[in-house]
A and B are shown apart, each in its own frame.
Chain A
């Protein structure tokens, strides 16, 4: 899996929030790496900790509210515990993020072109207005926005949903970042537009050779776009490996459950879907042992008491389960 030096390395990341109801263990010991030119898909439902992980990588958590431990190494530099000024220099230049809702991520008051140009000039202080504008229009064109020069002068509300997302991608990529984090970038979009955006991300990656972390709840999206996949549950990593391997031969009962409960366009439409019983766990009161055991049909005594470690099952395929592959048997 790792042929080049990984650009992003996360080791034993833990993020905790103190709330009036108790300590929320949003991320509880997650490790992964992403190389340049490869895409890691992080899959999980609400409360799985996937978004918190991505915000931690960008150093966007408020240190007064969140306690972060572990290592996050971006391009050779560990950013955990570093002062914000240091991390800010990386943000927007070496690593960038695109969000789920472009309407709230773009300032409604300023023209889109100006916002993108600003993102460029913050990290290239010697660049003049003209140069920034030229780059902006180039980037808007590259992300497939028709009439980019005219569009650059418009405001976000004049763009459609798909175009806004493209504009956000342009803003994220204007400084050629080596790492791009996309947090549910297509969830709010129509399916035909989603397909366009995913294609765009794919072609941009080939051109810029960036490392991409794509966060989503949609296994279909992951299968189309990602090279590797990390499945999160209850703030922990439960399965990790190449996307084909994990989705064809899931070893963790949760991954297996997700795959069998999702309706598809093919396969038997009359059979009942096989849901995962129960609901995702509370991050304040995580169940003891394996976080998934209350919903797992194969839970045994060990699952109830011992937290499973992430262990390699086959080359490059890791699972955190006491009985990996049990769901596939029979």
Chain B
């Protein structure tokens, strides 16, 4: 029984005349309701804005570079102390020209490197998340709906993928170009990261396929394609979106960790992991070097996680009955 105020007008009894106009009364879909709920949630709005902000930075990085005037690879040796390579000036060289200071030894601007670092991270993480979602959704739907041996085989593949330590597959040597590194990173994440999505989707599909609206489609003669894409998929978006929004920060952290271990992105490419790795040595002398990348990655990941949680609450099926 609907307690909300969205009650349709007085129910038509067979004796009453039908409504006159030819205008189609549009309803509010469950998606629209979720969006409305999301907008009301302050945490969602704030974290969502933060994410949009990061996204904007990632896309507009070259423009920012243009406005800022300094590139990520430019070295300002003249602003470093000759004796130990530490940046001159307050807290690691923060000034009007160099908003976040300079890197020791290389003399590169931290701010613009951070901007490009965000770009690298987000690109890798989002692409990887998209690929894993694609693979995971496809396999998950097939396993969940078809069951039987299809489910068994996919299950074995999942177990296999989970058991393999995927790090051992990573091994491009130093001379390899950056774009190749990025591609390999994405490929590795995608090859082994789809299992979570697949299991999630499989579970959802199993619970959905017993619902009567699915039986109704079958009773009308629906084929596999219709079932999967028209009936089931629209009901799967909620868990998929939430899983996706929580996968991206996991990949951001994962990629940063790999780069920190020096087997992901390497210097001189701007990257969170690289920067944090190198900054540990300079904790006392150049605190800005540690602080800024650290705080940035923290905020980025936190924003994604908070938004993912808020998204899950907004999409909660219990409240959209």
- Please measure, in the bound complex, the distance between the C-alpha atom of A278 and the C-alpha atom of B13, giving whole angstroms: 8
B207 partner residues in chain A, CB cutoff 8 A: none
- Please measure, in the bound complex, the distance between the C-alpha atom of A283 and the C-alpha atom of B4, giving whole angstroms: 9
List which B1-38 residues lie within 8 A (CB) of chain A: 1-5, 7, 10-11, 13
A282 partner residues in chain B, CB cutoff 8 A: 2-5, 7
Indicate if the CB atoms of A280 and B11 lie closer than 8 Å.
no
State whether the Cβ of A125 lies closer than 8 Å to any Cβ in chain B: no
Indicate if the CB atoms of A21 and B10 lie closer than 8 Å.
no
Question: Interface residue tally of chain A, by bracket?
Answer: 10 to 19
Partner of A46, one of B1, B7, B11, B13: B1
Indicate if the CB atoms of A279 and B3 lie closer than 8 Å.
no
Indicate if the CB atoms of A284 and B4 lie closer than 8 Å.
yes
Indicate if the CB atoms of A277 and B2 lie closer than 8 Å.
no
Distance from A290 Cβ to chain B, minimum over Cβ atoms (Å): 16
State whether the Cβ of A29 lies closer than 8 Å to any Cβ in chain B: no
- Please measure, in the bound complex, the distance between the C-alpha atom of A280 and the C-alpha atom of B11, giving whole angstroms: 11
Indicate if the CB atoms of B5 and A22 lie closer than 8 Å.
yes
Q: What sequence of 0s and 1s flags, for each residue 267-282 of chain A, a beta carbon within 8 Å of any chain B beta carbon?
A: 0000000000111101
State whether the Cβ of A294 lies closer than 8 Å to any Cβ in chain B: yes
State whether the Cβ of A318 lies closer than 8 Å to any Cβ in chain B: no
- B contact patch SS: loop
List which B158-176 residues lie within 8 A (CB) of chain A: none
Indicate if the CB atoms of B4 and A21 lie closer than 8 Å.
yes
Distance from A120 Cβ to chain B, minimum over Cβ atoms (Å): 36
State whether the Cβ of A3 lies closer than 8 Å to any Cβ in chain B: no
Indicate if the CB atoms of B3 and A19 lie closer than 8 Å.
yes
B2 partner residues in chain A, CB cutoff 8 A: 282
Beyond A278-B10, A278-B11, is A284–B3 a contact (Cβ under 8 Å)?
yes
B3 partner residues in chain A, CB cutoff 8 A: 19, 21, 24, 47, 282-284
Q: What sequence of 0s and 1s flags, for each residue 21-53 of chain A, a beta carbon within 8 Å of any chain B beta carbon?
A: 110100000000000000000000011000000
Distance from A21 Cβ to chain B, minimum over Cβ atoms (Å): 5
Distance from B11 Cβ to chain A, minimum over Cβ atoms (Å): 6
Distance from A277 Cβ to chain B, minimum over Cβ atoms (Å): 5
Indicate if the CB atoms of B13 and A277 lie closer than 8 Å.
yes
A283 partner residues in chain B, CB cutoff 8 A: 3
State whether the Cβ of A305 lies closer than 8 Å to any Cβ in chain B: no
B5 partner residues in chain A, CB cutoff 8 A: 21-22, 282, 284-285
Distance from A173 Cβ to chain B, minimum over Cβ atoms (Å): 32
Distance from A47 Cβ to chain B, minimum over Cβ atoms (Å): 5
A to B CB contacts below 8 Å, 17 in the list: A21-B3, A21-B4, A21-B5, A22-B5, A47-B3, A277-B13, A278-B10, A278-B11, A282-B2, A282-B3, A282-B4, A282-B7, A283-B3, A284-B4, A285-B5, A285-B7, A294-B10
Which residues does B use to contact A, with CB under 8 Å? 1-5, 7, 10-11, 13
Which residues does A use to contact B, with CB under 8 Å? 19, 21-22, 24, 46-47, 277-280, 282-285, 294
Q: A284-B5, A285-B5 are in contact. List 18 more A-B contacts (CB 8 A).
A: A21-B3, A21-B5, A22-B5, A46-B1, A47-B1, A47-B3, A277-B11, A277-B13, A278-B10, A278-B11, A279-B11, A280-B1, A282-B3, A282-B5, A282-B7, A284-B4, A285-B7, A294-B10
